[in-house]
């Protein structure tokens, strides 16, 4: 699944690509629920949750790119960037505690990277 999502991330932004990433996310969510209800292999649940967060992040990135480069709906692009920031900040403890990212990495992506993307989108006045 990781390879399929990575391949989608290199495609031109489109609603089809975003929908395909969301399909992968739904498959992961089903797997997460199955792993949790099967007695709780903690390592498996942690890995699936990490992958689920990464796929959500990818979907938001592609959505932001779509609105910036294709639809020029900068308000929706900014909303996607704010959702990235919220996703990372809301799950910072899990990401850091599970060694998926360092606290500095979370702060950099949720801060500097999102800020740079927000500045690159013109205001729609």
Q: DSSP letters of 37-52?
A: HTT--HHHHHHHHHHH
Helix (H, G, I), strand (E, B) or coil at 98: coil
| pTM (two decimals) | 0.89
What percentage of the chain carries pLDDT values higher than 90?
72
Total length of the chain: 125
In this predicted structure, what is the pLDDT of residue 105?
97
CA-to-CA distance for 13 and 30, rounded, in angstroms? Answer: 26
CA-to-CA distance for 20 and 48, rounded, in angstroms? Answer: 18
* H/E element, 85: helix 74-90
- Label residue 89 by pLDDT band (50, 70, 90): very high
Residue 4 half-sphere exposure toward CB, CA atoms < 13 A: 14
At 42-82, the pLDDT tens digits run: 888 888 889 999 999 999 999 999 999 999 999 999 999 99
In this predicted structure, what is the pLDDT of residue 29?
82
- Label residue 6 by pLDDT band (50, 70, 90): very high
Query: Which is it for the CA torsion 56, 57, 58, 61, positive or negative?
Result: positive
More confident residue, 125 or 101: 101
In this predicted structure, what is the pLDDT of residue 38?
65
């Amino acid at each position: 699944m990781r390879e399929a999502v990575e391949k989608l991330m290199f495609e031109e932004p489109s609603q089809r690509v975003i929908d395909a990433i969301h399909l992968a996310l739904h498959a992961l969510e089903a797997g997460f629920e199955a792993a949790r209800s099967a007695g709780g292999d903690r390592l498996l649940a942690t890995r699936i949750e990490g992958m689920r967060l990464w796929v959500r992040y990818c979907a938001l990135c592609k959505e932001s790119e779509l609105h910036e480069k294709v639809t020029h709906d900068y308000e929706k692009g900014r909303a996607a960037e704010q959702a990235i920031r919220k996703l990372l900040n809301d799950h910072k403890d899990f990401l850091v505690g599970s060694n998926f990212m360092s606290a500095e990495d979370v702060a950099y992506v949720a801060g500097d990277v999102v800020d740079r993307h927000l500045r690159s989108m013109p205001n729609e006045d």
